Structure 1
């Protein structure tokens, strides 16, 4: 009976030439791996998102309507009621956050999973607000306090949000953010 692999071996610190039949095709068509510095404004600035929040854009993938960013709520506040048409995966980086519609509170290191078709209202009561890393797919519809549709945000909206801010402030647009 063969022993099942428990973890990949990792006894070398050098590049291994892996045989890969599609190496040339990947090199020609893949946007490639990249590193985005999320700790500073070198790769992406904080872009205002309402009066008490900002977004640091990390990636835009127009092929799948997928986008990644850090949402920073700078103090106690709310991100309006919204309906997800795609999936969202978030990690609480700092502070704490909750949804009015749920009975849990997200704290640093916690994973938040949102499924399509759910509407909710994001709130932080933490005195220093919160930062959330998010990986989102699909459009998000925003509604006012009466349930009236206001706007839809998606990868195209987030690209405009980022690019318009950069143009207004003389910041070069970082092509590394586009997958």
Structure 2
């Protein structure tokens, strides 16, 4: 197809100038507990938040469930993936147990109840896409956790405890 005469050729790689001017090159998120605290999540768990992407309604975090703990039944509205870092965990509804190095992915619409009966508990890195609906022990809807819930969970805890909010977490 011939090039229209009234269009000027763009300089090579024009997107590089825009990326340099407006883009974010990435970030370093410290894993230490002082700069990146464990935020309580119920009685038996805590979350170390790592990233919040409001454009895609996604969040990355490390979930720590202490030995003998569980996370209430929940239903995913997006894909979730996880890598087990420490300990072991599973879902009451499935017949597998995830151990360090194991990869788990969950599809939209799946509902399950996470538990860890490992005496040392478990830690797993999760990348969550979409909302998660939580239900109480009677199966009644309790609350929805989406990227905005995770942001509020982190920011509220930091502000209440005099911890600087790490703006690099916001993609």
Same fold (TM over 0.5): yes
Q: TM-score, normalised by structure 1?
A: 0.86
The aligned runs of 1:88-107 (5 Å cut-off) are 88-107=80-99
- Residue 79 of structure 1 is aligned with which of 71, 75, 90? 71
- Residue 30 of structure 1 is aligned with which of 23, 34, 37? 23
SS in structure 2 at match of 1:22: helix
The 8 Å contact of residues 54 and 147 in structure 2, kept in 1 or not, is answered as yes
Corresponding pairs, count = 160
SS in structure 2 at match of 1:146: coil
The 8 Å contact of residues 35 and 163 in structure 2, kept in 1 or not, is answered as no
Q: Which residue of 2 aligns with 1:7?
A: none
Distance 1:42 1:33, change over 3 A: farther
1:133 aligns with 2:125: yes
Please, which runs of 5 or more residues in structure 1 have no aligned partner?
A: 1-18
Q: Which residue of 1 aligns with 2:4?
A: none
CA distance in 1, matches of 2:35, 2:14: 34
Give CA-to-partner distance per residue, 1:136-167, whole Å, 9 cap, x none: 01000001122111100000000000000001
The 8 Å contact of residues 66 and 116 in structure 2, kept in 1 or not, is answered as no
Q: TM-score, normalised by structure 2?
A: 0.90
CA distance in 2, matches of 1:86, 1:51: 26
Give CA-to-partner distance per residue, 1:13-60, whole Å, 9 cap, x none: xxxxxx74411111223222112122x125421101111111000000
**Cα root mean square deviation, aligned:** 1.2
Q: Which residue of 2 aligns with 1:59?
A: 51
Please, which runs of 5 or more residues in structure 2 have no aligned partner?
A: 1-11
SS in structure 1 at match of 2:17: helix
